[in-house]
Amino acid sequence: MSVYRAIYTSRPFGFDSGTLNSILVHAQRTNPSVGITGALICREDVYLQLLEGPEDEVRKAMERIRRDDRHVEFRIHVEKTVPERMFGKWAMLHDPAATWIWSREEVRNDAIERTTAAEVEGFFQKLSDRNTSPDMT
Ligand SMILES: Cc1cc2nc3c(=O)[nH]c(=O)nc-3n(C[C@H](O)[C@H](O)[C@H](O)COP(=O)(O)O)c2cc1C
Backbone torsion region of residue 73, taken as left when φ is above 0, otherwise alpha when ψ lies between -120 and 50, otherwise beta: left
Domain range for 70: 3-127
Of 5, 10, 26, best ligand 1 pocket probe by most atoms within 8 Å of the beta carbon: 26
Closest CA to 99 of 127, 78, 125: 127
Calculate Rg over the CA atoms of the chain. 14
The answer to whether 93 and 132 have CB atoms below 8 angstroms apart is no
122 inside domain? yes
Residue 45: inside a domain, yes or no?
Answer: yes
* Total domain count, the chain: 1
Instruction: Give bridge partners of residue 76 from the DSSP assignment.
Output: 8
Task: Yes or no: say if 52 and 5 are a contact pair by the CB < 8 Å rule.
Answer: yes
Looking at ligand 1, which residue's alpha carbon is closest to its atom 16? 65
C-beta separation of 70 from 23 below 8 A: yes
For ligand 1, atom 12, the nearest C-alpha belongs to: 27
Give me ligand 1 centre to Cα 134, in Å. 31
Of all protein residues, the one whose alpha carbon is nearest to atom 10 of ligand 1 is: 27
135 within some domain: no
Residue 132, in any domain of the structure:
no
Residues 6+ apart with CB under 8 A from 57: 34, 35, 36
119 part of a folded domain: yes
CATH number of the domain bearing residue 100:
3.30.70.100
Confirm whether 134 is domain-assigned. no
Predicted local confidence at residue 136, as pLDDT: 45
Question: What pLDDT does 50 receive?
Answer: 98
* Pocket, ligand 1, Cβ cutoff 6 A: 23, 26-27, 30-31, 40, 47, 49, 61, 64-65, 68, 70-71, 92
Kindly state the DSSP code that residue 110 receives in the 8-state scheme.
Answer: T
Separation between Cα atoms, residue 90 and residue 100, nearest integer Å: 20
Encode the chain (137 residues) as per-residue pLDDT tens digits.
789 999 999 999 988 999 999 999 999 999 999 999 999 999 999 999 999 999 999 999 999 999 999 999 999 999 999 999 999 999 999 998 766 799 999 999 999 999 999 999 999 999 999 887 665 44
Domain for residue 137, yes or no? Answer: no
Helix (H, G, I), strand (E, B) or coil at 34: helix
What is d(CA 104, CA 136) in angstroms, rounded to the nearest whole number? 26
Q: Is residue 25 part of a domain?
A: yes
